[in-house]
C-alpha cells in the first residue's frame, strides 16, 4: 500500500474507496495482526471485577422469631384491683391480640371484653404523649429536676399525700413501703369508684377482720345471688364464669345442673342466666336477707315484713333448697349491697356448711376507700395538703360528688398526676406525667386469691411513659429507678440463690408465680353483731337510684376505647351512651318513653338522663351506669353519654334513696343495635326446663319435626379431609361480649360511630341476640351468639353476580374481598343477616398509631366490600401450614381455636373438625340438645346450638 | 303500519279531520322544524337542573360510599333498587305498544308508538344507572358484571345469580328497543331530510336516515325488519321484567320468595308504563296541539289497558295474602300482616289506594274520557307503583327471619335527590326527543289514512 494523505481527496487510480478512506489505510498488515492479537489478549480483561469486599449483615434478629409469625408473651392486666393472667400475641414486636393465659388459675385461657379491648387502648392516639407542666409541654428530665428539689426539701412529708388506684402490685407495695418510710408523715390513699368497700365492711362486721371470700361455683349446686352480677360486672375474674358454666353444662338428660336464684333490681347478665329471679329494689334486699335468715332459722321468726304470698313462697322454697344442698350451696352478696348483707351472706354460708367448700376466705390487704378519700378531701379543703401525687385514676371525674374533689384539688399547691390519658384530673394537675400502658411496662399484679404474675412489656413505651412504680421511685429516691430493676429485684429477693434467675425466667414464661396465693383462712362469723346490723336496717321508700359499672367504660377509664363504646351493652344493647333504666311500669308511672329526657334529683343534686325501658327491672328503681359524660376525653369518647357521678355521694355511693323524677320535654337519641326483643314465637333459642328435658330428651328437635327438606341438586359430599363446624352451648353463654371484642380485635373490624349505629350499620361479625320471653314486667332473657353459619347450601353464594363468595372444600363459606363489587345481594339473601357491608370508608380517620393494632394476618376491607365471620380462616390456615411443615397430617382437635372460642369465659363456643369422630364439636353435635336454626330453609348451617335448659325448683315451677 | 294489500275500514275516531299525507307531515315535522313553545324551555331548564343534581349525587355516592344513602343492615336494597325496578317497569309500555300491539294489528298504536318507545329507551337509560351505581365499587362493577375476557382474574361471572340475568336482560332490552325505535324512525328521518333547509341539517339527517329513498325495495326491507324486531321485542315485554322479578323471587326472604312475581311484575310494569305514557301524552298533545292524531280513542284505550292491568295487580295482591295464609308458613304470614300493619303501613296503604282503588274509577266512561281525571289518576298510579316496589323490597328486608336483626330504613336527602334527579334525566331526554325527532310516527299514521284517502285524490 502506498502512503497517502487521507485528507487529500484527490482520487488516485486503483483506490476503490477514494472518499473517507479507512483509518487503517496507513497501517501495515503486520501492525494489524499485532493489534488483533493484543485485543484478543486484552479481551479477557472484561472479566475482571473490582476487588472483592465482603460485607456481613447484622443478623441479630429476635431469638425464636420468624418474621411473619407471631410470638406470645405472658403478662397480666389489673381491673378493679384484681389481675387476670393474659397471653399477648405480638407481631413484629408489637402486641396485636390478647388471649387468656391457660396456665393462670383465674383465666384458664379466657379473657373478658375489657381484656380484649385493652390492646386498642395501647394505640390510642389521644393518649398522653408528653409531660405537661401547667399546661405546657415539658419533659421527664424537667420533672425529675423538679421532683428532686421539691421532695428532697420535704422532711417527714406531713403535707404530702399519695392517691392511687387500688394497689395490687407487690413491687408497688415495696416501693410504697420505702416511700412511706422516707416520708413517715405522708399518707397513702387508694381510691377507685368501683371498689369492695361494702364487702370489706361486711367482712369486718362478720369476722372482725379483712377477709375476702373466694367463690367456687364449680362445687355449688344451689346458688343465691344477692344483687351480685358475679358472671359479668361484679365478677372480678372470668374464672367465676368458667366455674359456673362447668356446672351448667349438660351432656345428656342424665346429667344434673346447678340452680341459680337471684334477687336484683336491674336486669343483669347473671339475672338472665338465673333459674329463678326475684326483682326487687336494691334497698329492699337487706330485708329479704333478714327474712331468709329467719326462714333458715338463724334469726328468730319475728315481724315478717314479707306479707305478699309470691315472695313468701319463693323465699321458703329457696331456703329449703339451700338447706337441702348444705355444703354445696352458695350465697353471694353484690358489691353494692350494704355491709349487713355481706355479713349475713357470710353467716348463712357458714350455717349451711359452705365455708371451706364453695366459699373460702383469704386475707386481703384492702381497706375501705371512700372513707379515706373523704378524709383526704377534707384535708385538701382545709388547706392541709401541699403536695398531692395522683398515681393513675381520675378522681376529679369519679370521686363522690359531695367531696368536690375537683374544686379542692385547686387548693393543693403541687399536684402531680400520672395517667395514661390527660383526663379531667390531669388537666387540673400542675404536673401531668404520661403513664405507661400495662402492655408497655414491667410490673406485677395479684389475682383474686393473691396469686402473683409478672407483667412484662410487649413493646417499648410508645410515648416514653413510665409506670407508677417508676414515678414513685423517682419521687422517693428509690435505689432502683427503672421498673425492670425494681420488679426484678423485688422478686429475686424472694428466690435467693442460684435458681433465682431460672425461676424468674420461668415465671416470665408461664405468666404465673407459683405458691403466691394467699393462704386460706378460717373465719367464724359473729352472729350477734350481724343480727343487730340486720335489725338496724331500715327500708327506704320512694324512688331509688342505683349506680353500676358500665359494661363498656367500666368506671369511665375506657371512654375513649371505641371498641368498648360500640360493643352493645349485654342487656340493653345500647351503644355509645348510658341511660336511666326503668321498668315498664315505672316508665308508665312517669309517662315517659325511650329517649325522653328526665331529670333525676337526689340529695340536693340533679342530673338529666334519657330513659330506656328495661323489662324486668325492679319498680320504683332507676339504674344508672357510671363512666360516661366525660369532658376531658379523647375524640372517641367525647360526648358519649351523661355523667352520673354528679349524683353519687360518699354517703350513698351505690344506692340513693328518696330520689325524685321530673320529665323534661327534651328527647335524646339513643343508639341500639337490636330494635326488636321478642322471638315472635320463632324457634331460635329453644329452651326447656331440666324436667322437660328429662321427659322429652329430643324437645329441641320438635320445631323441625314436620320439615321436609327437599334438594333439587345432589348434595356435595363433605366426607373428605377437614370439615369445620361449630357448636354453641346456649346453656353456658352468658352474653358477656368477650367474643364480640375478641372477634373485633382478631379480624380488624372497624367501629362506625354512634350515628352509623343508629342507621343500623354496626360491623360486628358476631352478635349476641338477646330475647325476652314471658310477661313484660318480669320476663326471662336468653342470649344467642350469631355469626356466619357457614351454610353448606348457602343462600348468599348463588346470588353473588361476580362469584365473590364461594364454598371451600372444607366447608367454609369464603369471602373474596377483592372480587366483591358490593351489590349486597348476599346480605339480603342471608336469612341469618350475618353479613356486614362497608357502607363508608370506616378506616378513613384511623391514625398511624392505631394501625399498629391491626392483625397483619387479616385483610383490612375497603369501602364498598362485604365481610363476615370466616371461622377465623387465618388461624385455620396458620395451623394447617404449621402441621404440614411439621409433617403431621392430621390436625389435633383443639389446636385451632377461633378467636371467639378462645376467649369465651364460659367455654360456650366449640369449633373443630366434624369429620373427626373424636373432636369435641362432633361430640356436642351428637347430643340430643343440638339443633340448627332455620333448618327448614335447608341452608345446612355448620354452626349448631345446644338448647338452653333452666333448672327451676319444682316447688316454684 | 298499514298493509296496503288489505283494504281496511278506517276507524274514524283514530285520526280526526281527515288529513292527507301532506297535512300529517306538515303537522308533525313542523313541530321539529319550528320553534319550541316557551314552556318547553322552562321545562328543560328545570329538568336539566335535576339532571345536574343527579350527576352531583352520583359523584358524591361514588366518592363517599353507599353510606350516603339510607341503606343499612338488614335493608341492603332500598330506594336504589326500587328506582331500578320502577324505571324498567315504565319502559314496558313502549315495547308493548310498539311490538305486541303491532303483532295484534291494533291500528290505534300508530300515533303513540314512537312516543312510547322513546319513553322506553329513556326509562331504560334511567334504570340502568342504578344497578351500576348501587354497587359498593362501581368502578369494578362496570366491567366485572359483563362477561368480557378477564385476563387478570380468569374468572367468569356467577351465572346462577339473577343480577347477571338482569345484566343480560336489560342490555338486550335496551339494544333491541333502540334498534326497533331507530328502524321505525328511518323513513321519518328521511322525510325531515327532504324538508331540511340548511346544509348541516341535511347532512346529519342524511346520515341518520341511512339513504332512505322510499323505493319499494326499501319499504319491503323496512316492513320485514320492523316485523322481525317486533317479534323479537314481544317476548322481551314478558321476559325482561320476569328476570327483574327473579331478583326477588329467587331469594329465600319471605315476601320475596314467591312464584307469583313474574306475572305480577309484568302486569305491574305495563300498568305503570301506560300510566307514564298517558301522563306525558296528555301534556304533549295539549302543548303541541296533536289532538287530531292522539284522539280520545287512543287515550281511552290506554286507560282501559291500565284498568285491566290494575285489576291483575290487585288480584295479585289478594292472591299473595291468601297464599300467605293458606301456606301456614309463619314467616310468610307475618310478612303480609307486617306490610299492612307494621311500621311501613303508610307505604302499603298508599300503594293499595293508588293501585287498586283509584284505577277502578276507569270503569266509568266519564272518567275514562276526562283528560284532567286521567292525568291525575295516571300520576297516582305511578306513585302507587313506586310504593309497590318500595313495599316489596324494604318491608320484606326490614323484618325477615331473625327478629334480632329487624331494622328500620330511613331515606336520606341524597336518596331523594337521586330519585328526583332520575326523573330529571328522563324528562330531559324526553324533552330533547320532542325537540329533535318527530314524536308521532308519520309513516305509520300515513299508512292508516292511506286506505281512506284512496278516494280522496293524489295529495302527496
Render pLDDT for B106-117 as a digit per residue (tens, 0 to 9). Answer: 888 999 999 999
Q: CA of A939: which chain B residue's CA is closest?
A: B252
Confidence check: pLDDT of A902 > 60: yes
Handedness of CA B268, B271, B272, B274 (dihedral sign): positive
Phi/psi of residue A950, nearest 5 degrees: -120, 155
Three-state DSSP class for residue A543? strand
* Torsional class of A951: left (φ above 0), alpha (ψ -120 to 50), beta (otherwise): beta
A795: closest CA of chain B, how far (Å): 7
Burial B111-124 (b: 16+ CB within 10 A, else e): bbbbbbbbbbbbbb
Q: Which residue has the higher pLDDT, A713 or A329?
A: A329
Residue A306 grid coordinates: 314479707
In this structure, chain B runs to a length of 460
Is A828's CB within 8 Å of B138's CB? no
Q: Is any Cβ of chain B less than 8 angstroms from the Cβ of A866?
A: yes
Q: CA of A802: which chain B residue's CA is closest?
A: B157
A777: closest CA of chain B, how far (Å): 20
Q: What angle do CA A29, A35, A36 make, to 5 degrees?
A: 90
What is the percent of chain A with per-residue pLDDT over 90, rounded to a whole number?
Answer: 80
pLDDT confidence of residue B56: 98
Q: Is any Cβ of chain B less than 8 angstroms from the Cβ of A817?
A: no
Cα first-last separation, chain A = 130
Residues forming beta bridges with residue A295, ordered by sequence position: none
Residue A289 grid coordinates: 336477707
Q: CA of A832: which chain B residue's CA is closest?
A: B402
Q: Is any Cβ of chain B less than 8 angstroms from the Cβ of A816?
A: no
Picking from A410, A359, A386, the residue whose alpha carbon sits closest to that of residue A158 is A386
Confidence check: pLDDT of B459 > 60: no
pLDDT confidence of residue A673: 96
Cα→Cα distances A44→A41, A48, A49, A876, B230, Å:
6, 8, 11, 58, 82
Dihedral (Cα; B208, B214, B215, B221), 10-degree rounding: 60
pLDDT band at A808 (very low <50, low <70, confident <90, very high): very high
Separation CA B393–CA B8 (nearest Å): 48
Q: CA of B398: which chain A residue's CA is closest?
A: A828
pLDDT confidence of residue B182: 96
Contacts with B64 from chain A: Cβ below 8 Å: 840-841
Say which of B65, B399, B409 has its CB closest to residue A839.
B65
pLDDT confidence of residue B164: 96
Contacts with B74 from chain A: Cβ below 8 Å: 760, 827-828, 833
Say which of B68, B253, B406 has its CB closest to residue A829.
B253
Q: Is any Cβ of chain B less than 8 angstroms from the Cβ of A183?
A: no
pLDDT band at B453 (very low <50, low <70, confident <90, very high): low
Contacts with B403 from chain A: Cβ below 8 Å: 676-680, 682, 684, 771
Is B163's CB within 8 Å of A799's CB? yes
Contacts with A934 from chain B: Cβ below 8 Å: 401
Contacts with B164 from chain A: Cβ below 8 Å: 801
Q: CA of A764: which chain B residue's CA is closest?
A: B73
pLDDT confidence of residue A66: 79
Q: Which helix (H) or strand (E) holds B369?
A: none
**How confident is the model over A281-324, as pLDDT tens digits?**
999 999 999 999 999 988 887 655 555 667 888 999 999 999 99
Instruction: Specify the DSSP class assigned to residue A407.
Output: H
8 A C-beta contact, residue A746 and residue A97: yes
8 A C-beta contact, residue B267 and residue B244: no
Is B74's CB within 8 Å of A684's CB? no
Contacts with A823 from chain B: Cβ below 8 Å: 131, 134-136, 141, 163
Residue A294 grid coordinates: 329467719
pLDDT confidence of residue A948: 96
Spans of all domains in chain B: 2-456
Strands A414-419 and A387-391, how do they pair? parallel
- What Rg value do the Cα atoms of chain B yield, rounded? 23
Q: What angle do CA A289, A294, A295 make, to 5 degrees?
A: 95
Burial of A775 (0-12, 13-18, 19+ CB in 10 A): exposed
Q: What angle do CA A691, A697, A698 make, to 5 degrees?
A: 135
Is A831's CB within 8 Å of B402's CB? yes
Contacts with B331 from chain A: Cβ below 8 Å: 682
Phi/psi of residue B307, nearest 5 degrees: -60, -45
B79: closest CA of chain A, how far (Å): 14
Interface with chain A: mutation pick from B71, B137, B397, highest number of A CBs within 10 Å: B137
| Helix (H), strand (E) counts: chain A | 29, 39
Separation CA A253–CA B298 (nearest Å): 76
Say which of B64, B72, B400 has its CB closest to residue A761.
B72
Picking from B159, B393, B423, B147, the residue whose alpha carbon sits closest to that of residue A824 is B393
pLDDT band at A1 (very low <50, low <70, confident <90, very high): very low
Residues 783 through 812 of chain A touching chain B, CB cutoff 8 Å: 784, 786, 795, 798-803
DSSP calls for A496-509: -STTHHHHHHHHHH
Strands A813-815 and A276-279, how do they pair? unpaired
pLDDT confidence of residue B107: 85
Picking from A390, A460, A386, the residue whose alpha carbon sits closest to that of residue A418 is A390
Separation CA B334–CA A14 (nearest Å): 113
Picking from A620, A610, A602, the residue whose alpha carbon sits closest to that of residue A659 is A602
DSSP strands (E only) in A176-326 = 187-190, 211-215, 222-226, 259-264, 276-279
Residues forming beta bridges with residue A729, ordered by sequence position: A946
pLDDT band at B8 (very low <50, low <70, confident <90, very high): very low
Q: Is any Cβ of chain B less than 8 angstroms from the Cβ of A148?
A: no
Residue A57 neighbours by CB distance under 10 Å:
5
Residue A529 neighbours by CB distance under 10 Å:
17
ipTM greater than cut 0.90: yes
Contacts with A786 from chain B: Cβ below 8 Å: 402, 404
In this structure, chain A runs to a length of 957
Cα first-last separation, chain B = 18
* Residue found under cell 349476641: A768
Cα→Cα distances A822→A473, A788, B279, Å:
57, 18, 36
Say which of B162, B401, B404 has its CB closest to residue A831.
B401
Separation CA A909–CA A919 (nearest Å): 13
* Residue found under cell 345446644: A946
A679: closest CA of chain B, how far (Å): 6
* Residue found under cell 421511685: A473
Is B160's CB within 8 Å of A681's CB? no
Residues 756 through 775 of chain A touching chain B, CB cutoff 8 Å: 756, 759-762, 767, 769-771
Average pLDDT of span B57-73: 96
Q: Which spans in B65-150 are helix H?
A: 79-95, 101-103, 113-133, 138-144
Contacts with A802 from chain B: Cβ below 8 Å: 141, 144-145, 155, 157-158
Instruction: Specify the DSSP class assigned to residue A510.
Output: H
* Torsional class of B66: left (φ above 0), alpha (ψ -120 to 50), beta (otherwise): alpha
Least confidently predicted of A946-955, B323-332, B450-459: B450-459
Residues 6+ apart with CB under 8 A from A610: A577, A579, A580, A594, A595, A596, A597, A598, A642, A667, A668, A670
Confidence check: pLDDT of A415 > 50: yes
Average pLDDT of span A103-131: 95
Confidence check: pLDDT of B451 > 80: no
Is B158's CB within 8 Å of A803's CB? yes
- Residue B123 C-alpha from the chain's centroid: 5
Residues forming beta bridges with residue A223, ordered by sequence position: A260, A330
Mean pLDDT for chain A overall: 92
Contacts with B394 from chain A: Cβ below 8 Å: none
Average pLDDT of span A168-175: 94
Confidence check: pLDDT of A91 > 80: yes
- Rounded to 10°, the helix B216-249/B79-95 angle is 150
8 A C-beta contact, residue B116 and residue B277: yes
Separation CA B283–CA B430 (nearest Å): 12
pLDDT confidence of residue B7: 39
Residues 6+ apart with CB under 8 A from A880: A722, A891
Full-model pTM? 0.91
B149: closest CA of chain A, how far (Å): 14
Contacts with B85 from chain A: Cβ below 8 Å: none
Q: CA of A677: which chain B residue's CA is closest?
A: B404
Q: Number of CB pairs < 8 Å for A and B?
A: 178
Contacts with B169 from chain A: Cβ below 8 Å: none
Q: CA of B136: which chain A residue's CA is closest?
A: A864
**How confident is the model over A20-67, as pLDDT tens digits?**
444 445 667 888 888 888 888 777 666 667 777 777 766 666 677 777
CATH H-level superfamily of B2-456: Formate dehydrogenase/DMSO reductase domain (1.20.1630.10)
Phi/psi of residue A843, nearest 5 degrees: -105, 10
Average pLDDT of span B312-341: 95
A466: closest CA of chain B, how far (Å): 42
Amino acid at each position: 500500500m502506498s502512503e497517502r494523505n487521507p485528507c487529500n481527496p484527490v482520487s488516485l487510480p486503483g483506490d476503490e474507496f477514494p472518499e473517507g478512506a479507512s483509518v487503517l489505510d496507513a497501517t501495515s498488515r503486520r501492525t494489524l495482526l499485532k493489534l488483533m492479537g493484543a485485543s484478543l489478549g486484552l479481551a479477557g480483561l472484561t472479566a475482571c471485577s473490582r476487588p472483592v469486599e465482603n460485607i456481613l449483615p447484622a443478623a441479630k434478629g429476635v431469638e425464636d422469631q420468624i418474621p411473619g409469625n407471631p410470638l406470645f408473651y405472658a403478662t397480666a392486666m389489673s381491673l378493679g384491683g384484681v389481675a387476670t393472667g393474659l397471653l399477648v400475641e405480638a407481631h413484629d414486636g408489637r402486641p396485636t391480640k390478647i388471649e387468656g393465659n391457660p396456665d393462670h388459675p383465674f383465666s384458664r385461657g379466657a379473657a373478658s371484653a375489657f381484656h380484649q379491648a385493652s390492646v386498642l387502648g395501647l394505640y390510642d392516639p389521644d393518649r398522653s404523649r408528653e409531660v405537661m407542666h401547667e399546661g405546657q409541654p415539658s419533659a421527664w428530665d424537667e420533672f425529675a429536676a423538679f421532683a428532686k428539689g421539691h421532695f428532697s426539701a420535704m422532711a417527714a412529708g406531713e403535707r404530702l399525700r399519695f392517691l392511687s388506684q387500688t394497689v395490687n402490685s407487690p413491687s408497688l407495695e415495696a416501693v410504697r413501703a420505702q416511700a412511706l418510710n422516707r416520708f413517715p408523715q405522708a399518707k397513702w390513699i387508694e381510691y377507685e369508684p368501683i371498689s369492695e368497700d361494702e364487702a370489706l365492711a361486711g367482712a369486718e362486721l362478720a369476722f372482725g377482720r379483712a377477709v375476702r371470700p373466694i367463690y367456687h361455683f364449680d362445687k355449688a349446686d344451689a346458688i343465691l345471688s344477692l344483687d351480685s352480677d358475679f358472671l359479668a360486672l361484679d365478677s372480678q375474674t372470668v374464672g367465676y364464669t368458667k366455674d359456673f358454666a362447668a356446672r351448667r353444662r349438660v351432656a345428656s338428660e342424665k346429667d344434673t345442673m346447678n340452680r341459680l336464684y337471684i334477687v336484683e333490681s336491674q336486669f343483669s347478665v347473671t339475672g338472665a342466666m338465673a333459674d329463678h329471679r326475684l326483682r326487687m329494689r336494691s334497698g329492699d334486699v337487706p330485708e329479704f336477707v333478714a327474712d331468709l335468715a329467719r326462714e333458715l332459722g338463724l334469726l328468730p321468726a319475728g315481724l315478717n315484713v314479707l306479707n305478699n304470698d309470691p315472695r313468701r313462697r319463693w323465699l321458703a322454697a329457696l331456703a329449703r333448697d339451700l338447706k337441702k344442698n348444705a355444703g354445696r350451696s352458695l350465697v353471694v352478696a353484690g358489691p353494692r349491697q350494704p355491709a349487713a348483707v355481706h355479713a349475713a351472706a357470710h353467716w348463712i354460708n357458714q350455717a349451711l356448711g359452705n365455708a371451706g367448700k364453695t366459699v373460702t376466705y383469704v386475707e386481703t390487704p384492702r381497706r375501705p376507700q371512700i372513707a379515706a378519700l373523704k378524709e383526704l378531701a377534707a384535708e385538701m379543703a382545709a388547706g392541709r395538703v401541699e403536695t398531692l401525687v395522683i398515681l393513675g385514676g381520675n378522681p376529679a371525674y369519679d370521686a363522690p360528688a359531695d367531696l368536690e374533689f375537683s374544686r379542692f384539688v385547686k387548693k393543693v399547691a403541687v399536684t402531680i398526676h400520672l395517667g395514661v390519658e390527660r383526663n379531667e384530673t390531669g388537666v387540673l394537675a400542675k404536673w401531668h406525667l404520661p403513664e405507661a400502658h400495662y402492655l408497655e411496662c414491667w410490673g406485677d399484679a395479684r389475682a383474686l386469691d393473691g396469686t402473683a404474675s409478672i407483667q412484662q412489656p410487649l413493646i417499648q413505651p410508645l410515648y416514653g411513659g413510665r409506670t407508677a412504680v417508676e414515678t414513685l421511685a423517682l419521687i422517693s429516691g428509690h435505689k432502683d429507678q427503672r421498673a425492670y430493676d425494681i420488679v426484678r429485684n423485688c422478686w429475686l429477693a424472694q428466690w435467693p440463690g442460684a435458681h433465682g434467675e431460672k425461676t424468674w425466667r420461668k415465671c416470665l414464661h408461664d405468666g404465673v408465680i407459683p405458691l403466691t396465693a394467699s393462704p386460706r383462712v378460717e373465719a367464724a362469723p359473729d352472729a350477734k353483731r350481724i343480727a343487730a346490723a340486720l335489725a338496724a336496717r331500715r327500708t327506704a321508700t320512694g324512688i331509688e337510684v342505683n349506680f353500676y359499672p358500665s359494661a363498656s367504660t367500666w368506671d369511665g377509664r375506657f371512654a375513649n376505647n371505641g371498641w368498648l363504646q360500640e360493643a352493645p351493652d349485654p342487656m340493653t344493647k345500647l351503644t355509645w351512651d348510658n341511660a336511666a333504666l326503668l321498668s315498664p311500669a315505672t316508665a308508665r308511672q312517669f309517662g315517659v318513653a325511650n329517649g325522653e329526657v328526665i331529670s333525676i334529683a337526689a340529695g340536693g343534686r340533679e342530673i338529666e338522663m334519657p330513659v330506656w325501658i328495661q323489662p324486668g327491672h325492679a319498680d320504683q328503681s332507676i339504674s344508672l351506669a357510671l363512666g360516661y359524660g366525660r369532658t376531658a376525653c379523647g375524640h372517641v369518647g367525647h360526648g358519649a353519654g351523661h355523667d352520673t357521678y354528679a349524683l353519687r355521694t360518699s354517703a350513698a355511693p351505690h344506692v340513693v334513696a328518696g330520689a325524685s323524677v321530673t320529665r323534661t320535654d327534651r328527647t335524646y337519641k339513643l343508639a341500639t343495635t337490636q330494635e326488636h326483643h321478642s322471638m315472635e314465637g320463632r324457634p331460635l333459642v329453644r329452651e326447656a326446663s331440666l324436667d322437660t328435658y328429662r321427659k322429652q330428651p329430643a324437645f329441641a328437635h320438635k320445631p323441625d319435626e314436620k320439615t321436609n327438606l327437599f334438594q333439587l341438586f345432589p348434595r356435595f359430599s363433605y366426607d373428605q379431609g377437614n370439615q369445620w363446624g361449630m357448636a354453641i352451648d346456649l346453656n353456658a353463654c352468658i352474653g358477656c361480649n368477650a367474643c364480640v371484642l375478641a372477634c373485633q380485635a382478631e379480624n380488624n373490624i372497624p367501629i362506625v360511630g354512634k350515628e352509623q349505629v343508629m342507621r343500623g350499620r354496626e360491623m360486628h361479625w358476631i352478635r349476641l341476640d338477646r330475647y325476652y320471653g314471658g310477661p313484660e314486667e318480669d320476663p326471662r332473657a336468653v342470649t344467642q351468639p350469631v355469626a356466619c353459619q357457614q351454610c353448606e347450601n348457602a343462600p348468599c353464594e348463588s346470588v353473588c353476580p361476580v362469584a365473590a363468595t364461594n364454598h371451600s372444600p372444607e366447608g367454609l363459606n369464603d369471602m373474596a374481598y377483592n372480587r366483591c363489587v358490593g351489590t349486597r345481594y348476599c346480605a339480603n339473601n342471608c336469612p341469618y343477616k350475618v353479613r356486614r357491608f362497608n357502607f363508608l370508608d370506616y378506616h378513613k380517620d384511623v391514625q398511624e398509631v392505631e394501625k399498629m393494632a391491626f392483625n397483619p394476618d387479616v385483610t383490612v376491607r375497603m369501602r364498598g366490600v362485604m365481610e363476615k365471620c370466616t371461622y377465623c380462616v387465618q388461624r385455620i390456615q396458620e395451623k394447617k401450614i404449621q402441621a404440614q411443615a411439621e409433617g403431621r397430617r392430621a390436625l389435633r382437635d383443639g389446636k385451632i381455636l377461633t378467636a371467639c372460642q378462645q376467649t369465651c369465659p364460659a367455654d360456650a363456643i366449640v369449633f373443630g373438625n366434624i369429620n373427626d369422630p373424636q373432636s369435641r364439636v362432633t361430640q356436642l353435635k351428637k347430643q340430643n340438645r343440638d339443633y340448627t336454626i332455620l333448618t327448614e330453609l335447608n341452608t345446612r348451617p355448620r354452626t349448631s346450638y345446644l338448647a338452653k335448659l333452666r333448672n327451676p325448683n319444682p316447688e316454684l315451677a | 303500519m298499514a298493509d296496503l294489500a288489505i283494504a281496511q275500514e278506517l276507524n274514524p275516531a283514530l285520526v280526526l279531520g281527515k288529513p292527507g299525507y301532506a297535512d300529517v307531515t306538515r303537522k308533525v315535522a313542523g313541530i321539529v322544524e319550528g320553534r319550541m313553545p316557551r314552556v318547553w324551555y322552562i321545562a328543560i331548564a328545570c329538568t336539566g337542573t335535576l339532571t345536574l343534581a343527579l350527576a352531583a349525587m352520583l359523584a358524591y355516592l361514588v366518592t363517599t360510599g353507599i353510606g350516603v344513602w339510607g341503606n343499612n343492615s338488614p335493608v341492603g336494597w332500598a330506594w336504589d333498587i326500587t328506582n331500578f325496578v320502577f324505571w324498567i317497569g315504565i319502559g314496558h309500555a313502549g315495547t308493548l305498544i310498539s311490538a305486541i300491539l303491532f303483532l295484534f294489528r291494533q291500528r290505534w298504536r300508530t300515533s303513540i308508538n314512537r312516543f312510547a318507545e322513546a319513553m322506553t329507551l329513556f326509562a331504560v337509560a334511567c334504570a340502568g344507572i342504578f344497578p351500576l351505581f348501587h354497587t359498593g365499587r362501581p368502578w369494578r362493577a362496570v366491567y366485572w358484571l359483563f362477561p368480557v375476557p378477564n385476563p387478570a382474574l380468569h374468572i367468569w361471572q356467577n351465572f346462577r345469580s339473577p343480577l347477571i340475568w338482569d345484566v343480560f336482560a336489560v342490555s338486550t332490552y335496551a339494544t333491541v328497543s333502540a334498534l326497533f325505535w331507530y328502524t321505525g324512525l328511518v323513513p321519518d328521518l328521511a322525510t325531515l331530510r327532504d324538508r331540511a333547509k340548511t346544509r348541516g341539517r341535511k347532512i346529519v339527517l342524511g346520515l341518520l336516515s341511512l339513504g332512505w329513498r322510499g323505493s319499494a325495495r326499501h319499504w319491503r326491507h323496512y316492513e320485514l325488519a320492523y316485523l322481525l324486531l317486533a317479534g323479537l321485542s314481544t317476548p322481551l315485554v314478558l321476559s325482561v321484567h320476569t328476570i327483574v322479578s327473579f331478583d326477588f323471587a329467587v331469594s329465600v326472604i319471605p315476601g320475596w320468595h314467591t312464584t307469583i312475581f313474574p306475572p305480577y311484575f309484568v302486569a305491574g310494569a305495563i300498568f305503570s308504563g301506560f300510566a307514564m305514557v298517558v301522563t306525558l301524552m296528555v301534556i304533549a298533545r295539549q302543548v303541541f296541539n296533536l289532538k287530531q292524531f292522539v284522539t280520545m280513542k287512543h287515550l281511552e284505550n290506554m286507560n282501559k289497558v291500565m284498568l285491566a292491568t290494575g285489576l291483575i295487580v290487585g288480584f295479585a295482591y289478594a292472591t299473595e295474602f291468601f297464599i300467605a295464609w293458606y301456606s301456614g308458613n309463619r314467616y310468610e304470614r307475618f310478612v303480609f300482616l307486617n306490610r299492612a300493619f307494621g311500621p311501613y303501613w303508610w307505604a302499603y296503604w298508599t300503594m293499595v289506594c293508588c293501585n287498586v282503588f283509584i284505577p277502578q274509577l276507569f270503569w266509568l266512561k266519564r272518567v275514562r274520557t276526562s283528560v284532567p281525571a286521567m292525568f291525575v289518576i295516571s300520576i297516582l298510579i305511578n306513585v302507587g307503583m313506586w310504593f309497590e316496589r318500595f313495599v316489596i323490597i324494604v318491608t320484606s328486608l326490614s323484618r325477615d327471619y331473625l327478629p334480632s336483626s329487624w331494622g328500620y330504613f330511613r331515606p336520606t336527602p341524597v336518596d331523594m335527590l337521586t330519585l328526583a334527579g332520575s326523573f330529571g334525566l328522563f324528562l330531559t331526554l324526553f324533552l330533547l326527543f320532542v325537540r329533535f325527532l318527530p314524536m308521532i310516527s308519520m309513516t305509520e299514521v300515513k299508512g292508516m289514512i292511506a286506505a281512506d284517502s284512496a278516494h280522496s285524490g293524489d295529495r302527496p
